[in-house]
Structure 1
Amino acid sequence: NAIGGYASGSIAGCATRRYHGILLAALHPPVGRTQLVAALDEIIDCGGKSYELAAHKWASGAVAPQGFQYIESFRLDGTIPTWIYALGDARLERRIWMRQGGNTTYVRYALLSGSSPLEFHAKALVNYRDHHSATHAGDWQMRVASVNHGVGVLAYDGAAPFYLLSAEAAADPRHIWYRDCFFQAERERGLDDHEDHLFAAQFRAAIELGKPFTLVFTTDENTLLDGDSALSEQLAHDSGLLAAFAGHPSTSKTNSDPAWFPQLVLAADQFVVQRSIPGEPNGHSVIAGYHWFGDWGRDTMIALPGLTLATGHPETARQILLAFSKFVDAGMLPNNFPDAGGKPEYNTIDAALWYFEAVRQYLEATHDMATCEKLFPILAGMIEAHVAGTRYNIHVDPADGLLHGGGPRVQLTWMDAKIGDWVVTPRTGKPVEINALWINALETMVQFAKTLQLPVERYETLSAVAKASFAKFWNSDRNCCYDVVDSPGIGNDASLRPNQIFAVSLPFSPLTEDQQKAVVDVCRTELLTPVGLRSLGPHEIGYTAHYQASLVNATLHITRARSGAGSWAHSHWRISASTRTRPRRAAFSNRKGKQLICTASAPWRKSTMGNSPSRPAAALL
């Protein structure tokens, strides 16, 4: 809904995760995600027979009802999930979508064919909880009361009220707890796997040919209730996205683009959210991944070119860059903004470095020198803060010009799994991709300074020293890069990981062409899977091919085997088919189409099993 909220579920209609629901509202956009409407249990009376369309699995093991048996088809109409149910001689269409910029979900029903009208009944099951948690209601009494066009719910004093509405259907308040709904995926994750939902409203309506009707679930009592107008609004939004992609000169389009390519343009937009801050009321950010991630600095900067520039929205890219510039502190960009609100956290060594690359790609696409001039002093200050030293022992080593960071109980790179005080993959020292990014940032500053006719010697000197010292990353025994050098108590870490691919893919590579080819070859041979790169070579100590059950095992898997990446995955991570015949740095060039494909595909696969079959293991399912 462009502010961090979402609606999510399975095609079958059975919730398998705590994150599934019809309305998960961002009460403090783009964070504060709260489940308000968990499910809608529809019952259709047709020709003397009742059809229950919903599906639930219960803690007892029972699956009831089993409405999935009536699904004739499912499709996406733009961004709108659309089901058709076969109910006797009737065919009923259901659509679900959210209103852009508001915590409002629409569920629209239309009778496509049938010999007589249908009688519609539906139970709205509600909740009020953080989307990471589960409800065990006990004797919890919510306030449920009739309001104009429906039912209002207040979970407790101080809670945000929300509404279950319809301009066409009658609605009566209820207060009955449904206990022990079961979440299969949470059981597999080793987490609380069942919860309670409150049956809060009963809807009734007749469904006739040519007379669709809509249920509306919202935090805005005065929201638009006209389902036809709301549907037209959403379809126009989707059409506008595709028109921007087709018409903007910064996008790459060819006659050979596959037919499903426009769907990726629409998917990309779902990650871009509003983040208004003082001085930047039109600020934007990027949700790092649905369901459980908020907006993260690293993910935002890596995904920015694919989500905005490749889709024809350079102004959105500019707004994101300016918004994040307001959060630069001690030369660092935030790692993330807590979902519960509050101050951003800065435990990242690479978010700031990815900011340089995002700005570079924006300027390359737009030639917006006014923004370059505005951001240059901020970027210059970030360089000096890293040279002098900043949080978490992040500093340039004066002995070799390379960037060092980390310490006990701190995880600073993208491999940031942590269980209690245990950092699974600490990577303290000088990580390979961090120093490739550092050199890239320095070379980018050389470009910017020349363009703005400012002194360049400082950045040229820093870059020359770092590039010369990057040679210590080369592991001649394995013909690839060390993952970390100068790690306290370890020395050089020879673990085969995909991080070295950044030293090939970034525009200013510190490797020779032969070294670039060797890195591509080893990544293709040892790490490549059908869905991305493994995070650890299969012959390395600690490699885990499959995981299941506990959160500890799941967390370990993220840095010990998984393939693929999150919403920030783009061409830096992916090895194209051309590497089979042309394994050079060009295979990793930032072609906009490839950025878009890899970025927009992310909602479907956050991580997968390391070995075949590469089953998705943490995704929007």
Structure 2
Amino acid sequence: MSYLKFDKDLMINLEYSLYRNILRTNRKGAYQNTSISGCNTSKYQGLLVMPVPFLDDDNHLILSSIDETVIQHGAQFNLGIHKYNDDNYSPKGHKYIREYNIDSVPKTIYRVGGVILSKEIMFSSKENRLMIRYKLMDAHSPTTMRFKPCMAFRNISQLTRQNDQVDRSYREVENGISTSMYYGYPEFFMQFNKRVDFMYQPYWNQGVEYIQDMQNGDTFKEDLYVPGYFEMPIAKGEEVIFSAGDILVNTSALTDEFNAELKKRTPRSSFYNCLKNSAHQFYYIPKTDEMYLLAGYPWFKVRARDQFVSLPGCTLSVGRPDDFTKIMDSAIPHIQDFLNDKPRKNIIKQIDDPDVLLWVTWALQQYWKENKPVFKEKYVDFLFSIIDFILSNKHPNLTVDPENGLVSTYGRDVAVSWMNAVQNGKPVTPRSGYLVEFNALWHNALKFAEEVAAATNKEVLATTYEEKALKAQQSFIETFLNDAGYLYDYVDGTYADRNVRPNMIFAVSMDYSPLDRRQKKLVIDFVTKELLTPVGIRSLSPKGYNYRPRYAGTSEEKEYAYFNGCAFPWLIGAYIEAYLKVFSMSGLSLADRVMIELEDQMQNDCIGTLSEFYDSSPPFYAHGGYSFAMSVSETLRAKRLIRSFG
């Protein structure tokens, strides 16, 4: 019995199946994503999306879909599905689906009369290449299969329309063809593991629509280029493998390759395994000696804050400490260029955001708890260089106040924290001055540096950090703790923001908290009563004047709602950590309940993973990146924290 399984009734119900999708990736930034019905519902979806460095830094949709047709006695049964104007779906291949399950790879079983056909989709782990395995499980008559590729060759944020600039030429290769629609794109190979006939009949599939883009008020209609179709006979029990990618393959090896790749996959047999599998999908290896974490899919690249928040959960929490060091070691040269005011490479975005170095230090602290000997060998000097850089006030937008020891940042006109929605060039949720999570991270960083200095016999340095941490702790209480018992979100001059927001939870979750136990409990009580939801922590209390529980309306209204009420799963990591630190074993029942509620999302939206954020009121629709590294990683870290109490 599969953990993630969808029966006929669910699959033929487009109101259900169109709004659930599956993601497959490699480690080069490419991916395959479509709804479980097979119908693309967004311009970002398709069978093969990949980077094209020659053109730009974005991903490009190469192969939108491949429409299969089963032919018996001259009768054609089309298994594909596209949406057109006025809710017209054609063909309606979803009506033949009898089962869809996701164990190691997505598997669809179709029944057409006496024909039973299975379809499994695999993404190569090393190449920008998709493989689909078809097996004719049963048939009572001679059967032919036809495959019609619909191609786009465009940036994922754009749409294509019929035009005369398309290069319609192709060349025959082993068991297939290669083609390229436009200059600058790589040669695209479509091959099978057996002989196939290609019928050259070029035309445009016009007016394909993407329902979710339409509902979101985005552009939603395009034309897809079809060069012709492939056709071959298939016998009962026979397996046919289709390969599509930017390299020519040895088709005789496709069967062995598919089986070998299948053995590498983590079965999605539990909540943990789904999250573990999803965590691996964020790995990005542009070169053999470099590794990073993508912030999410479909449009995110490597973003500094996201990478370091996600790093412990995506590596240490799934038993991969070596991957932590690979990713950290790849990032260190970029960070050092920033520390030394040298020109920076463009792989890690937003590395100059004011809280990034604080999150780097926090990530290092998680590794220190795992492996002190390796940390002492690799990261001690690097840690001290970060702390000294901040203390020396060399950061362009993070300043240590000599009077109170707290850090401040200017955020009235620029988004400086993770609450980074912007409207008309200005932050929707401006946060400036002393930010509560910045200073919780800063106090923790000083205490952690003190701990490392003491452990490496640097007594003078340890004393220095201890003194600065003590000053910061005292100032933290005076600055942020209010009479109601919770913490101000930020303090800017004489203004103290009284909104109940989730950022104060970090003052409790850090290993070195500036609060005492009573103060911690008060903060947790506020977060639990006003911010906790089944899908994450609200970005603003419902009691707040600006509270917006749903990400809906115009683009301006959506941007406004983003951090004024929507719920974020990534904050669950800090919440669970804080809760267990205060309540210990007695807090396990609530922690388990939070995880059970999050697990419900495994069969929603992008199957087997977690989205960037959700509406904070029922029915808790997902929004943003449909597979988000911070959401996945911090949930994994929360699960590991819970297990540590078991």
Instruction: Tell me if TM exceeds 0.5.
Output: yes
Deviation at 1:373, TM superposition (A): 3.5
CA 1:229–1:70 in structure 2 vs 1: closer, same or farther (change >3 Å)?
same
Query: Which residue of 1 is the match for residue 621 of structure 2?
Result: 615
Q: Name the counterpart of 2:209.
A: 182
1:506 corresponds to which of 494, 506, 510: 510
Q: How far is the alpha carbon of 1:608 from its aligned partner?
A: 1.0
What corresponds to 1:312 in structure 2?
319
The alpha-carbon distance between structure 1 residues 448 and 598, as it changes in their structure 2 partners (threshold 3 A), is: farther
Q: Following superposition of structure 1 onto structure 2, how do residues 345-356 of structure 1 map, counting pairs within 5 Å?
A: 345-356=350-361
Separation in structure 2 between the aligned mates of residue 135 and residue 573 of structure 1, nearest angstrom = 44
Partners of 2:379 and 2:601 lie apart in 1 by 25
- The change in CA–CA distance for 1:409 and 1:46 in structure 2 (over 3 A counts) is farther
Determine whether 1:519 maps to 2:523. yes
Change (3 A) 1:350 1:172: farther
* SS of equivalent to 1:135: coil
Distance 1:453 1:143, change over 3 A: farther
- Residues 430-441 of structure 1: matches in 2 within 5 Å? 430-441=434-445
Task: Pick from 47, 63, 66 the counterpart of residue 92 of structure 2.
Answer: 66
2:446 is the alignment partner of 1:448: no
Q: Indicate whether 1:558 and 2:558 are aligned.
A: no
Structure 1 counterpart of 2:14? none
**Residue of structure 2 in register with 1:195 after alignment:** 222
Q: Counterpart amino acid of 1:34?
A: H
Mapping of 1:363-382 within 5 angstroms? 363-369=368-374, 371-382=375-386
1:229 maps onto 2:256 in alignment: yes
Mapped to 2, the partners of 1:554 and 1:223 lie a distance apart of 49
Q: Which amino acid aligns with 2:354?
A: I
In structure 2, how many angstroms separate the alpha carbons of the residues matched to 1:307 and 1:403? Answer: 29
- In structure 2, distance between residues paired with 1:186 and 1:60: 15
Q: Deviations over 1:260-295 (max 9, x none)?
A: 43333222211222143xxxx422111111112112
1:273 aligns with: 284
Structure 2 CA distance, aligned partners of 1:573 and 1:76?
A: 30
Deviation sequence 1:207-237 (CA, Å, 0-9, x none): 2222211111101124666332222122221
Q: In the alignment, which residue of structure 2 is the partner of 1:572? A: 574
Q: Does 1:34 align with 2:41?
A: no
Going from structure 1 to structure 2, the CA distance change for 1:72 and 1:103 (only over 3 Å counts) comes to same
- TM-score for both structures, normalised by structure 1: 0.87
Taking a change above 3 Å as real, the CA distance of residues 65 and 619 of structure 1, as seen in their structure-2 partners, is farther
Correspondence for 1:478: 484
Instruction: Tell me how far apart the structure 1 counterparts of residues 120 and 33 of structure 2 sit (CA, whole Å).
Output: 13
Corresponding residue pairs, total: 588
Residues 392 and 406 of structure 1 are in contact (CA less than 8 Å); yes or no, is this contact kept in structure 2? no
Q: Which amino acid aligns with 1:357?
A: W
Shift of 1:579: 10
How far apart, in 2, do the equivalents of 1:224 and 1:458 lie?
65
What pairs with 1:120-199 in structure 2 (closer than 5 Å)? Answer: 120-148=145-173, 149-168=175-194, 169-199=196-226
Change (3 A) 1:89 1:332: farther
Q: 2:291 aligns with which of 284, 303, 306?
A: 284
Matched, 1:463 2:474: no
CA distance in 1, matches of 2:505, 2:589: 11
User: Distance between the aligned counterparts of 2:402 and 2:293, measured in 1?
Assistant: 35
Relative distance call for 1:598 and 1:418 in structure 2 (3 A) is farther
CA distance in 2, matches of 1:351, 1:42: 48
Cα distance per residue 1:538-592 (max 9 Å; x no partner): 1111111223243323222221121124xx56621458997997699999999xx
- Tell me whether 14-23 or 180-189 shows the greater mean CA deviation: 180-189
**Corresponding residue for residue 255 of structure 1:** none
- Write the letter of the residue equivalent to 1:363: W
TM-score, normalised by the number of residues in structure 2? 0.84
Deviation, structure 1 residue 61: 3.2
Residue 235 (structure 2) aligned to one of 208, 211, 228: 208
CA contact (8 A) 1:165 1:171 kept: no
Q: 1:108 maps to which residue?
A: 133
CA displacement at 1:259 relative to structure 2: 4.3
Matched, 1:49 2:75: yes
SS at match of 1:328: helix
CA contact (8 A) 2:507 2:514 kept: yes
Q: Secondary structure at the match of 1:572?
A: helix
| Secondary structure of the corresponding residue to residue 566 of structure 2 | coil
Rounded to whole Å, the distance in 2 between the matches of 1:408 and 1:124 is 50
| Aligned partners of 2:41 and 2:209 also within 8 Å | yes
Q: Assess if the C-alpha contact under 8 Å between 1:532 and 1:573 holds in 2.
A: no
2:238 partner amino acid: K
Equivalent pair of 2:412/2:431 in contact (CA under 8 Å):
no
Aligned equivalent of 2:50: 25
Structure 1 residues 225 and 425 mapped into 2: Cα distance closer, same or farther (>3 Å)? farther
Secondary structure at 2:323 match in 1: helix
Residue 158 (structure 1) shift: 2.6
Give yes or no for the alignment of 1:301 onto 2:308. Answer: yes
Matched to 1:262, the amino acid is: N
- Read off the aligned partner of 1:496 and give its amino acid letter: V
- Is contact 2:576–2:591 with CA below 8 Å preserved after alignment? no
> Percent same amino acid at aligned positions?
25
In 2, the alpha carbon distance for the partners of 1:131 and 1:298 equals: 24
> Aligned with 1:7: secondary structure?
strand
RMSD: 3.2
Q: Deviations over 1:424-467 (max 9, x none)?
A: 11211111111111111111111221222223122212211111
CA distance in 2, matches of 1:579, 1:443: 17
Pair 385,558 (structure 1): closer, same or farther in 2 beyond 3 Å: same
- Tell me whether 162-171 or 460-469 shows the greater mean CA deviation: 162-171
Partner amino acid, structure 1, of 2:475: S
Q: Which residue of 1 aligns with 2:419?
A: 415
Higher helix share: 2
SS of residue matched to 1:56: strand
SS of the equivalent of 1:560 reads coil
- What amino acid is aligned across from residue 80 of structure 2 in structure 1? A
CA shift in 2, pair 1:584/1:398, >3 Å: farther
C-alpha distance in 1 between matches for 2:590 and 2:367? 18
Q: Secondary structure at the match of 2:61?
A: strand
CA distance in 1, matches of 2:451, 2:204: 63
**How many angstroms does 1:68 deviate by?**
0.9
* Cα distance in structure 1, aligned partners of 2:216 and 2:499: 27
In structure 2, how many angstroms separate the alpha carbons of the residues matched to 1:110 and 1:569? 44
Whether 1:360 aligns to 2:362 is no
